[in-house]
Amino acid sequence: MGRRRSEAGDAEGDPPRKRGEAGRAEQKRKRKGDEPSPRELVAAANAARDIAALVGDAAKPGPTTMRSSSSDGPPSATRGYVVDQLPDRLRRWCFDLTKRNMEAMYERTWGWSNPEKRRELAHSDARFIVAFRGDDDDGPMGFVHFRFEVEDSDGTPVAYVYELQVEDDARGRGVGRALMARVESIAENTRMARTMLTVLKTNAAAARFYERLGYVEDRDTPRDEACHYVILTKPAEAGRGGEGVPPRRSSGVVNP
Ligand SMILES: CC(C)(COP(=O)(O)OP(=O)(O)OC[C@H]1O[C@@H](n2cnc3c(N)ncnc32)[C@H](O)[C@@H]1OP(=O)(O)O)[C@@H](O)C(=O)NCCC(=O)NCCS
């Protein structure tokens, strides 16, 4: 998964990205008046240290704990972390699980690099939600790594999912759906325009999963047939008016 970018990289070693268009959109919004600009919204979201509070359904005392409801997931606890709150053993587990799940798929496309994946998981903007088998911190079964960003292509603020991984023996029980529901809720509560992610064209199972969750191909997904991935998107819930980007077409085309 991760994220593919186009031109200059960032200071923490993320792959290149294109800034010109986003910068122009930002200036235009600033001129419009008092509404916070996308950059300000992203900065405010990044300043939040209590991820559970951003979800808005914290059901248990403690700043970072959220309990799954029966309607959106299995009976488990999820915890949210800003990158520097993530315990080392969980950071190692996130890396190991990603490697177990993805290395072979990466090797067939853009290649797997241990240092690059470790760097990505340690990025200062990284935010995590981890699902556990029980109420204590034992037995993590899945995690999502996301970031708040101003989208390169149109200058809107987005929640970008860099990684979603579930342990093999925990799949098909609503863990992935529950984790994505929390990111989407956070996107809405922080006034992001949409949730976005990148999926390999060869990852047909993930494509079907995202389709079930209502994701569609983003209009900026690369048109090049030889490209290994597609960009999927889901607008944040209606009510803020006009910031969501219309989809190009259904994500069903992702299947090989
Ligand atoms: C993709 C993945 C995250 C899904 O997580 P999960 O916890 O198994 O998914 P859920 O149980 O929450 O499923 C949610 C919905 O998606 C559907 N779904 C999940 N996996 C599916 C699959 N392989 N094929 C078809 N539908 C699938 C489920 O049927 C369910 O639909 P429903 O709730 O309407 O009945 C998980 O399989 C995984 O970690 N895969 C390996 C890593 C990976 O590919 N990550 C994505 C990288 S982009």
Confidence of residue 71 (pLDDT cuts 50, 70, 90): very low
For the cut 90, the answer to whether the pLDDT of residue 4 exceeds it is no
Q: What is the pLDDT of residue 77?
A: 85
Confidence of residue 137 (pLDDT cuts 50, 70, 90): low
- The minimum-distance atom of ligand 1 relative to the CA of 179 is 12
pLDDT over 70 percentage in the chain? 72
Q: What is the pLDDT of residue 59?
A: 41
Distance 40 CA to ligand 1 centre (A): 34
For 156, residues 6+ apart whose C-beta sits below 8 A from its C-beta are 25, 38, 150, 193, 194, 243, 245
Are 118 and 95 spatial neighbours (Cβ–Cβ below 8 Å)?
Answer: yes
For the cut 70, the answer to whether the pLDDT of residue 15 exceeds it is no
For the cut 90, the answer to whether the pLDDT of residue 1 exceeds it is no
Mean pLDDT of the chain: 81
Query: Is 206's C-beta closer than 6 angstroms to any atom of ligand 1?
Result: yes
CATH label, 48-255, candidates 3.30.300.20, 3.40.630.30, 3.40.50.300, 1.10.1040.10: 3.40.630.30
Distance 7 CA to ligand 1 centre (A): 32
Q: What is the pLDDT of residue 64?
A: 43
Mean pLDDT across the stretch 93-101? Answer: 98
Is the Cα torsion angle 166, 170, 171, 173 positive or negative in sign? negative
Q: Please give the model's pTM, rounded to 2 decimal places.
A: 0.84
Query: Is 208's C-beta closer than 6 angstroms to any atom of ligand 1?
Result: yes
CA neighbor of 187 nearest in space, from 130, 141, 233: 233
Query: Is 140's C-beta closer than 6 angstroms to any atom of ligand 1?
Result: no
